[in-house]
Structure 1
Amino acid sequence: MLVDSHCHLTDEKFEPDRLALLERARAAGVSCFLVIGATGAFAHNDKALALARQHADVFAVVGIHPHDVQTITAETYARLRALARQPKVVGLGETGLDFYYEHAPREDQRRHFRAFIRLAQELDLPLSMHVRDAYAEAAQLLREEGGGHLRGVMHCFTGTAQEAQTLLDLGLYISLSGIVTFKSAQALREVARELPLERMLVETDCPFLAPVPYRGRRNEPAYVVEVARTLAQLKDCPLGTLAEATSHNARTLFRLPG
């Protein structure tokens, strides 16, 4: 059974068939869903928790995406603290640095990433991190603020082997998405091949980044099986072994039941 460690199920694209897609995923072998509340407006955090409360196998991760940090106020952190203490909330995120799109000034992103690292330590919750074109700087901030005692995962990893090793040295997990199945992602597949299985997670990041053979469609949690299948081929291990290991890793990191 697989854990989709990063999915945006509160996205409006899922309004017509949210319950049906959960059933499709369960039938495909997905046993747990981590729903990311950082999906634009703050209200998505509340929606993620509401969805988690409705389903035993759904859990919420709450936060503010790096694209949206200019919307953050002191009240935002107070609301996040309150949400994060609720049962069924298992992590903070996604947070981090995005220097590719730069929808928010870099200094604002840095300041709020630091704040999230501190909040994660205060609440003893893992971070789900989004980093693009900023792995070295993110690692430096994690060293400065985390002090070697931080739990977290770099979601949708697309970096180099050296960047992966830096994250592993910080004690972090690395999550692979549908990108690893893309024809253009040979370099990422070579990195994934060498990642230690005990530090690997899988995700869809749906509704984005549908894996081959569904590329171009709306992504959904059932398709995480294709991510796992590709990684199992790269690691030269049975799909069941890959699924068991990545699910164990997700349950350990996020302290999920079962």
Structure 2
Amino acid sequence: MLIDSHCHLDRLNYETLHSDPQQVIDKASAQDVQYMLVVSISLNEYHIMREKLAHLSKLAFSCGVHPLHVHESELEPNLLRQLASEDGVIAIGETGLDYHYNPATKDIQQQSFIEHLKVSSELKKPVIIHTREARDDTLRLIQDFGDASVGGVLHCFTEDYAMAMAAIEMGYYISASGIISFKSAKSVQEAFAKLPLDRLLVETDSPYLAPTPYRGGENQPAYTRRIAEVLAQIRQISYEAVAEATTENFQRLFGQIDGLK
């Protein structure tokens, strides 16, 4: 079985592509994806996400502010702490640094990231990290403010082997997304071929970044299966080995899931 370690289930197209979230979950289950971590991008949208999905099974949630949303409102650490303490929330984030799209908010992003890391340590819930064109600052802030005993994951990883290993050595995991199936992602593929299997997760980041042959369309949790198959090809091991390892890794990081087989 598989776990989609990062999806935005609330943001899929329910107007023309899917009837409702339960249909998406059923499609995923048919492809061996038995559990999903639904990730928030802002504290405002967190409430909407929970209202839409809280009645469904096979889901866990995160709470945080994406670095590209830090400009919308000043982060309130007490509110983050309060919401992240709710039942069903197993992770903090996504948070992190993105200097590619909005370098003008660099200072605000860093302060927000620091606050997320502090709350992660306080609540003992792993942090989900988005990083793009911010390698040195990401590693520095993890080192200075992260909690190695709690850890976290660099999700949708697009950097190189050296950065991944630096994060792993600080207690973090690395997650493969549909990007590993792109022909243009040779350096990412090379990294995932060599990284320790006991530190890898798989994710869709749906509705974004659908893997080939679905690239260009909307991503969905069912495509976790395709990503796991590509990861198995890259590492020259069986799909079953990838599924078993990544499921065990998820539960080692985020905690055991009741009823998961």
Partners of 1:67 and 1:104 within 8 A in 2: no
Partner in structure 1 of residue 57 of structure 2: 56
Does 2:7 match 1:7?
yes
Instruction: Output one character per residue of 1:97-142: Cα deviation in whole Å (capped at 9) or x when no partner.
Output: 0011016510111111111101111111100100000122111011
Cα gap change, 1:147 to 1:86, in 2 (>3 Å): closer
Measured in 2, the distance between the counterparts of 1:43 and 1:161 equals 35
Contact 1:139 1:166 in 2 (8 A): yes
* 2:254 partner amino acid: F
Change (3 A) 1:256 1:61: farther
CA distance in 2, matches of 1:115, 1:167: 19
Shift of 1:194: 0.2
Q: Equivalent residue for 1:29?
A: 32
Structure 2 letter corresponding to 1:160:
D
CA deviations over 1:199-240 (Å, ceiling 9, x no partner): 000000000000011111100000111110011111121101
Residues 62-211 of structure 1: pairs in structure 2 closer than 5 A: 62-73=63-74, 76-102=76-102, 105-146=105-146, 148-211=148-211
- Whether the aligned pair in 1 keeps the contact of 2:12 and 2:207 (CA below 8 Å) is no
Once the two structures are overlaid, the 10-residue window that deviates more, 147-156 or 216-225, is 147-156
User: What is the letter of the counterpart of residue 135 of structure 2?
Assistant: Y
Give the TM-score normalised by the residue count of structure 1.
0.93
Pair 162,250 (structure 1): closer, same or farther in 2 beyond 3 Å = same
CA distance in 2, matches of 1:252, 1:48: 25
Contact 1:52 1:60 in 2 (8 A): no
CA–CA separation in structure 2 for the residues paired with 1:103 and 1:196: 32
Shift of 1:20: 1.1
The Cα shift of 1:256 comes to 3.8
* Alpha-carbon distance in 2 for matches of 1:35, 1:223: 15
Return the offset for 1:42: 3.1
Contact 1:4 1:204 in 2 (8 A): yes
Number of corresponding residues: 255
Distance 2:204 2:103 in 1: 23
CA distance in 2, matches of 1:87, 1:58: 12
Inter-CA distance 103–8: structure 2 relative to 1 (3 Å threshold): farther
Q: Which moved more, 1:106-115 or 1:50-59?
A: 50-59
SS in 1 for 2:54: helix
Percent of pairs with identical residues: 36
Per the TM alignment, residue 146 of structure 1 is displaced from its structure 2 partner at its CA by 2.0
Distance 2:222 2:60 in 1: 16
Distance 1:207 1:12, change over 3 A: closer
In structure 2, the partner of 1:242 is 242
Distance 1:81 1:42 in 2: 11
**SS of residue matched to 1:105:** helix
**Matches of 2:97 and 2:112, distance apart in 1:** 9
1:13-69 Cα offsets, whole Å, 9 max, x none, are 24543221111001111010100111xx53321233345531231000111100111
Q: CA 1:47–1:59 in structure 2 vs 1: closer, same or farther (change >3 Å)?
A: farther
CA displacement at 1:147 relative to structure 2? 5.4
Match for 1:35: what amino acid?
V
TM-score normalised over the length of structure 2: 0.92
Any stretches of 5+ residues in structure 1 without a counterpart? Answer: none
